[in-house]
Chain A
């Protein structure tokens, strides 16, 4: 394989697309504010209605779209690189659903009213439990034939279990609205998020990124096989721990404020892999940007398709991702 240099054009394209979509996300909404007044209102200190809408509703939504999308893309790339499994991503292996379960427990028990940090913390805990389980199963399976599919099946089982427990929590929650909110927790939404939600999630998301991005080099070396990588100084146990905790932090933080959004971490690394020369390390930051692009685009799409009702983000990402997943699955079976 010809060694490829750092694919600068790809990153420039991804970065500028993210920026463009961020601005577009600021300009889309049911109130139809024209673009120039909208951007002026964003920076205005006068508390008129335009400024309120831009600063308190559109801005946090665009920021969260970027943070959540980047986290899901990054986590997907890390999991695919670490498990060396093309089907791995936080949604499919149960990390997102378990994070939703943790977050739901925090909210409906009233814990997050008393301790706001309990929300992202419990989401992180849920995500960490699922992540830990999957990595343990993967480590035990080795790299024989069918190992990859077993890991994915285990992930789907964990996801189903988390979903069932989530249903249970919501049906036992005393407030009558709770039972219907399962749609939000399993499909995700960024509607009417505020800067408070940004402040809640951002620290956990950023900590997650700080843990995951440096794994790039180790993931590159792991393509040579575990023994070779260990000989070159990669401490596999440490890499696994950072991967679990980092994924749990950024996916947990994201899920706590947006619900579980699936398929982003699956689709983005696959689409970008050919563009970055199939190096798992370079794929990490690329997938982060690609994830932001996908979620921002999906969030713009739901607001254009259904301006007044809250169409869930997970619907759009599933419409893109599920056929993609099936295609990958059939391809993986053929080459297994």
Chain B
């Protein structure tokens, strides 16, 4: 082995002038301005806590007095954001794991993990699991219902979203082949800025429930799908963090009369020995109702979702395994084939 190739390679590095011929100074400046313009929206959206707001307000007033001019506070700065409170109902969990289940280094040990930190993890990773063009993401989940039903789901998801799926329930098996993006939302096309993402998601909100509940469910679609790009997932989790800080108010229910008091809370916990942070939607005007998403603090992946309906019935879906494989199992090929044509052959 010689060092000559690397020496030659350094000498071939594109110069600034070469790069400027294609990525011109004008284009660079245009992108910089776009980034800063987007941040103006993001800065507005990222409201600081009440103490900082008070200090900022005092500083503005003092500055105004000194110069003879007074700058009015923006209306949003006068509200006191709600502080996220732990959910009263604790999940059935095991003790936190003492070590990582994959090869990635664990985050620093902390007493409390925030959603913002989960968003950072989400934005840094190469998606929940990297999938090549000829590979499949294999996901195994277990769904449990309060009537005792347990369904094991084994899915193979290709890079383009097509999904080969087998559901097993008490010995009965059903097979499905479908394009993974269900409904109008395509996570790949969503904005990567949280405020822009909120505006986009609201376009899909039907208006039959509160904005908070609608957004929570849409965010759940985005972060739970295996197809969302890392930046989109990060933006969705940041949006969730912001929703958790907004004031809790009782408002008329959009449909059916009555009132609704939507609230999003954050709780620390663990799921099957994986340290997790749970984000829950509740409606204080509706007893029992609760939707919770649990994020693995190491990977930002959804490890479990829990639904408690107003009648008290419970549903949970827990991810047991996420891996990447080179091909479909023979059983799946036999039942569903490899051609991308939607199939729902039914139960065996």
- Co-assembled chains A and B: no
